[in-house]
Amino acid sequence: MEKAEKNAVKEEFLEPLSTANEPSEFVKPCLQKPDGFILPYGVPDPETSEIHRELSVRALTGDERSRLGSPSVKKNLGKLITEFIVNGIESVGGLKFDHTIAKKMLIGDRETALIAVSAATYGEIQKIDSKCPYCELPMEHNVDLRRIPIFSPVHIQRDGTGFTFEIKALVNNAEIKAKFKYPNGALQEWVSPIGTNNPLKAQIEMMEKLCVNWNGNPVAPGMFRDGSARLTNDLEQSIAGHAFGPDTDILVKCSGCESEYVLSLDLMDFVFPSSAKMLKKRSGRMYSL
Ligand SMILES: [Zn+2]
C-alpha cells in the first residue's frame, strides 16, 4: 500500500492567480504545470488527428527580438504574435512548430504560446507597475506568468468548416441559433490592421467571416454590415462567453488601503515587457550624474 503510493506519479499543477472576471459556463480552467506550458485547446496532428498540447519553448535571441521591432511586424499584432511564437516554440507535443501551425492555431492557444515564449525569454516572473485607483499608491507586482488564469473551451466542435461552436441568443427579442468558427492566427493577422484604424469595423467584419450558419441557413452577405447595432451587440455578448485562452484581468490588492482592483495586462507587454523600463531604472543613477 505504502509502496504503491510512493510510486504513483502525482501531476503537479499551479494555482492560478485570481481573475477579475466570472468565467462563463462554456469554458473551464486549464491548469499549468510548474515546468512547462499547456495549450488550452491544442494543435491536431495532421496524420493521427491527435491533439497536441504541451509546449517545448526556448528563449528568443537578441537578433530575433530586434527583428520584432521592425515597423511592418510591430504594427500588426497578429503578425507580431506569429513571429514571436514561431521563433520561440520548438514543438507542440513532439510536432515541429512552424508558420503554418501558428496561423492555423486558435487565438486562445496563440496567446498562451505568447506567454510561454515570454516566460522563456524574459523570465517567468515579470515586474509590472500600477497605481491604486483608490489611494494612488504606486504598486509593483511580481506576476508569475505560469499562474495567469487560462481557460479551455468546453463545447468545441471539429468539422469541415474548422473549429466551431453553437450559440443560442436572444437577438432583437427573438431567439436565434447560430454556428460560429473560432478565430485562428490567419484571421487575427488579417483583422489586426483593420482593428487598429477602426475597432468597430473589425468587429463586424470578423463576425461576418466567423458566422457559418444562421438559423439553419448560410449567412447572407452583408448581414452584419447592414444589421443594427443591437444585432451585433447582442451577438457579441453571446460569442464572448465562448472565448478561451488567458484571462489577463488579474485581481490585485493594494498594500496601502487594502482595496482590490483590476490589473489588466496587455499582450504587447509580453512581447516587449518592461525590461527596457527596468534597464533605465537600474541605470538611472548613471544618467543623472
Ligand atoms: Zn490603495
pLDDT in the model for residue 9:
65
**How many CB atoms are closer than 10 A to CB 202?**
17
Cα-to-centroid distance, 265 and ligand 1 (Å) = 19
pLDDT in the model for residue 261:
96
* Burial status of residue 175 (CB atoms within 10 A of its CB: 0-12, 13-18, 19 or more): exposed
**Nine-digit cell string for 183:** 478565430
Cα-to-centroid distance, 278 and ligand 1 (Å) = 23
Cα-to-centroid distance, 245 and ligand 1 (Å) = 30
Cα-to-centroid distance, 138 and ligand 1 (Å) = 9
Cα-to-centroid distance, 129 and ligand 1 (Å) = 14
Q: Please list, in sequence order, all residues whose beta carbon lies within 8 angstroms of the beta carbon of residue 38, skipping any fewer than 6 positions away.
A: 30, 31, 32, 53, 54, 55, 112
- Phi and psi at residue 46, in whole multiples of 5°? -65, -25
Cα-to-centroid distance, 64 and ligand 1 (Å) = 40
Cα-to-centroid distance, 181 and ligand 1 (Å) = 42
pLDDT in the model for residue 288:
32
Distance of alpha carbon 70 from alpha carbon 128, whole angstroms: 25
pLDDT in the model for residue 4:
53
Cα-to-centroid distance, 141 and ligand 1 (Å) = 14
Cα-trace Rg, the chain: 21
**Nine-digit cell string for 155:** 463545447
pLDDT in the model for residue 226:
83
- Enumerate the H helices of 198-251 as residue ranges: 199-210, 229-240
Cα-to-centroid distance, 155 and ligand 1 (Å) = 40
**pLDDT, block means (10 residues), the chain with 289 residues:** 58 91 93 94 91 96 90 88 96 96 96 96 91 95 94 90 86 87 94 89 88 88 82 83 93 95 89 59 38
Cα-to-centroid distance, 274 and ligand 1 (Å) = 23
Cα-to-centroid distance, 130 and ligand 1 (Å) = 11
What pTM value is reported for the model?
A: 0.89
**Nine-digit cell string for 178:** 447560430
Angle at CA of residue 145, ends 139 and 150, nearest 5°? 115
Best CA proximity match to 182, nearest among 242, 258, 230, 261: 242
Q: Please list, in sequence order, all residues whose beta carbon lies within 8 angstroms of the beta carbon of residue 7, skipping any fewer than 6 positions away.
A: none
